Structure 1
Amino acid sequence: MTAAYPTLDDHLAGQDVPEALKVVVAAIATECVAIAGVVRLGGLAGALGLAGTANVQDEEQKKLDVMTNDMLTERLKACQPVAAVGSEEMDLIEPTGRTGGYLVTFDPLDGSSNIDINAPVGTIFSILPAPEGRAPVEADFLIGGRKQVGAGYAVYGAQTMLVLTLSGGVTGFTLDAQGRWHLTNPDIVVPADTKEFAINMSNRRHWAPAVRAYIDDCLAGKTGPRGKDFNMRWVAAMVADVHRVLMRGGVFLYPWDQREPDRPGKLRLLYEGAPMALLIERAGGKATTDGVTPILDVIPRNLHERCAVALGSANEIDAYAGTPAGNDLRQV
């Protein structure tokens, strides 16, 4: 049956993008197949539990965080068009010794806290242009999400899927038993309206007043100011929650909260916010920090810049931005 679906190689061959970019995407996709195999085996691959180390954000790393980071870094440093890589799990960029081509950033295993309970996890990646004629430095990564030449993620769940955007549009591929990607979702579009939201409700007491007001309005249902019943969904892995939004609509919210008042948010701009924002915008949705400011317009100040995130169905993001109390959504 898979013969009825074009392969990733078929799809890339028809894309009007540089051949070198196709090589980079193919390398990432190949390594995501290998990561899917490790995730599938779990404890049999020695992938469960803590690694006993911390990343640059002083977060405890899971064994699979370290394993997948090493796998992707090794694959990409061997990929000829890649000049340097940056990862959520690494303090600094790692140049390859080559110039020109592309820079790649990634979150090697988003939602890694889910791995021990066999819930969905994923890999998020972003591809940026590298400088010509010289070795890349950190500043070359800090150019903003609009400069991305490609972005995507793999989600390791009931099916393993790769979701990708290059020159335009968003496409989805499903992994078969032989390790080949097949185009199963050729034109992903986020519906403009929704009755679903995803947010970590346990943080409610820490949100700005306007965020609490928006969620309270949703929870009020048909008799409340929104006039419709909402469902809440929360997988605790951005890649899985955003995948649901892309597949059927909804909004994903990770707002500023008062526990870290000097930080604009929790999620990483380069490794999570920017690539997911490009996918959502290309699929017809909106991706903002606060309902108003596009994530893709935010210029990172460092490799591990954080941001608030509000993305998904366009009309619902507008409703979020219009919540009474206004600028409290954008409190930083």
Structure 2
Amino acid sequence: MQRSFNNGNAPSIESSRIAHSIGTALDRFIKNNQDQFAYASGELSQLLRDIALASKVVNREVNKAGLIDLMGAVGSQNLAGDDQQKLDVLANIRFTRALAKGGEVCALISEESDTYVDLNNEGKYVIAIDPLDGSSNIDVNVSIGTIFSIYRRKSPAGTPIQPTDILQKGSDQVAAGYVLYGSSTMLVYTTGHGVNGFTYEPTLGEYFLSHPQLKMPEDGKIYSINEGLANSFPAAVQEYIKYCKDCQYTARYIGSLVADFHRNMLKGGIYIYPATAKSPQGKLRLMYECNALAFVAEQAGGRATNGKDRILDIEVKELHQRTAFYVGSKNMVEKAESLGIH
């Protein structure tokens, strides 16, 4: 016999939860804010919906990966030299299909493809995407994510894709964001009017606004860096790490860029991936990792640099261009810059 511990006066926990509003659904939010888009003709709104749909499919695959043999490597490497995991390949397929069927994207730039994918349509947008960031964490149930950048094509719709459509600076982005697959799944994005976060409610199959107008704290006490490579860091980076330790900051490094960035976004902190002896140009990819997160960071009041230049101002010369990356709370990044990081 089931017993109730409700005294008859106070509402039960469950009824309180039901009565509590869970927020604005993503589709409604996009529709209500469409006039903020630089090109408010509907395509960008639909593109954001396509990304959300694909992320729901990827979220489902991630959650059941251990049950249907989706763990482990496929035995090949992408152009960046990373071992491709089964979920890397699957996520790339899911996003490519969703964006191709949506019709708003004319070209897709992906970490998992050597060159851009011409989607053979008259879409007005180009998207750069890391379908599943954090490959090394996939097999061990650690948070992973998707990162995306959206650009408006520069050549006329219906004509062949041009290099000027593909190699655009971060400052040309019309929207960018990320999806975090963690203890809960979140979609965070900006269209240049602040940053909003949406949490996925799996029983309803919808994203709901949970973090409106996100602001990154100007200061923080968290630094995120792979200290295992410390001996190959530039002297200024080693000096900054010493400064963090002298200030008794907390070291937190997950190894999934999205997860580390998201934590620092909420709590304040700096993420650092400098140039090293092994990767003198830096390791992270400008087009589909750094540009997107730099745009989000700046829209939330943060800062992003390669140590010399603002990330969003860097000229893109090749598809898989790498860069050093310092992103996070404004004052923390500026302090690192003052020490001459690069």
TM-score bracket relative to the smaller structure: over 0.9
Task: Please tell me the residue identity of whatever aligns with 1:249.
Answer: G
For 2:236 and 2:192, locate their aligned partners in 1 and report how far apart those are by CA, in whole Å. Answer: 36
Q: In structure 2, which of residues 232, 236, 259 is the aligned counterpart of residue 206 of structure 1?
A: 232
* Residue 303 (structure 2) pairs with residue 286 (structure 1): yes
* Residue 193 (structure 2) pairs with residue 176 (structure 1): no
For 1:230 and 1:315, locate their aligned partners in 2 and report how far apart those are by CA, in whole Å. Answer: 14
Matched with 2:8 is: none
Quote how far apart the aligned CAs of 1:138 are: 4.1
Using the size of structure 1 for normalisation, the TM-score is 0.92
Quote how far apart the aligned CAs of 1:285 are: 0.4
For 1:86 and 1:138, locate their aligned partners in 2 and report how far apart those are by CA, in whole Å. Answer: 12
Quote how far apart the aligned CAs of 1:139 are: 3.9
Matched with 1:315 is: 331
SS of structure 2 residue aligned to 1:149: strand
Quote how far apart the aligned CAs of 1:168 are: 1.2
Matched with 2:256 is: 237
Aligned residues: 316
Deviation track 1:48-103 (CA, whole Å, cap 9, x = no partner) reads 00111111123210111111011111111111211111100101111111234101
- In the alignment, is the contact (CA less than 8 A) between 1:138 and 1:303 conserved in 2? no
For 2:252 and 2:162, locate their aligned partners in 1 and report how far apart those are by CA, in whole Å. Answer: 40
- In the alignment, is the contact (CA less than 8 A) between 2:192 and 2:299 conserved in 1? no
For 2:172 and 2:268, locate their aligned partners in 1 and report how far apart those are by CA, in whole Å. Answer: 26
For 1:138 and 1:67, locate their aligned partners in 2 and report how far apart those are by CA, in whole Å. Answer: 28
Q: In structure 1, which of residues 260, 267, 271 is the aligned counterpart of residue 279 of structure 2?
A: 260
Matched with 2:315 is: 299
For 2:266 and 2:233, locate their aligned partners in 1 and report how far apart those are by CA, in whole Å. Answer: 28
Task: Please tell me the residue identity of whatever aligns with 2:325.
Answer: V
- In the alignment, is the contact (CA less than 8 A) between 1:99 and 1:136 conserved in 2? no
Percent identity over paired residues: 36
For 1:259 and 1:8, locate their aligned partners in 2 and report how far apart those are by CA, in whole Å. Answer: 42
Matched with 2:125 is: 102
For 2:85 and 2:189, locate their aligned partners in 1 and report how far apart those are by CA, in whole Å. Answer: 26
SS of structure 2 residue aligned to 1:140: helix
For 1:148 and 1:205, locate their aligned partners in 2 and report how far apart those are by CA, in whole Å. Answer: 36
SS of structure 2 residue aligned to 1:152: strand
Quote how far apart the aligned CAs of 1:220 are: 1.9
Matched with 2:180 is: 155
For 2:199 and 2:68, locate their aligned partners in 1 and report how far apart those are by CA, in whole Å. Answer: 23
SS of structure 2 residue aligned to 1:43: coil
* Residue 29 (structure 2) pairs with residue 11 (structure 1): yes
SS of structure 2 residue aligned to 1:24: helix
* Residue 167 (structure 2) pairs with residue 142 (structure 1): yes
Deviation track 1:237-291 (CA, whole Å, cap 9, x = no partner) reads 0000001111111000001111233xx210000110000000000000001111x
Q: Structure 1 unaligned segments of length 5 or more: list them.
A: 222-228
For 1:32 and 1:168, locate their aligned partners in 2 and report how far apart those are by CA, in whole Å. Answer: 23
Matched with 1:30 is: 53
* Residue 93 (structure 2) pairs with residue 67 (structure 1): no
Quote how far apart the aligned CAs of 1:45 are: 3.1
Structure with max Cα Rg = 2
For 1:59 and 1:137, locate their aligned partners in 2 and report how far apart those are by CA, in whole Å. Answer: 28
- In the alignment, is the contact (CA less than 8 A) between 2:103 and 2:123 conserved in 1? no
Select between 268-277 and 40-49 the one with higher mean Cα deviation.
Answer: 40-49
Moved over 2 A (4+): 1-4
SS of structure 2 residue aligned to 1:86: strand
- In the alignment, is the contact (CA less than 8 A) between 2:22 and 2:208 conserved in 1? no
Using the size of structure 2 for normalisation, the TM-score is 0.90
* Residue 139 (structure 2) pairs with residue 120 (structure 1): no
Quote how far apart the aligned CAs of 1:3 are: 4.1
- In the alignment, is the contact (CA less than 8 A) between 1:99 and 1:135 conserved in 2? no
SS of structure 2 residue aligned to 1:42: coil
Deviation track 1:5-37 (CA, whole Å, cap 9, x = no partner) reads 000011101122221100000000011011011
SS of structure 2 residue aligned to 1:90: coil
Task: Please tell me the residue identity of whatever aligns with 2:213.
Answer: D
- In the alignment, is the contact (CA less than 8 A) between 1:98 and 1:135 conserved in 2? no
Task: Please tell me the residue identity of whatever aligns with 2:209.
Answer: L
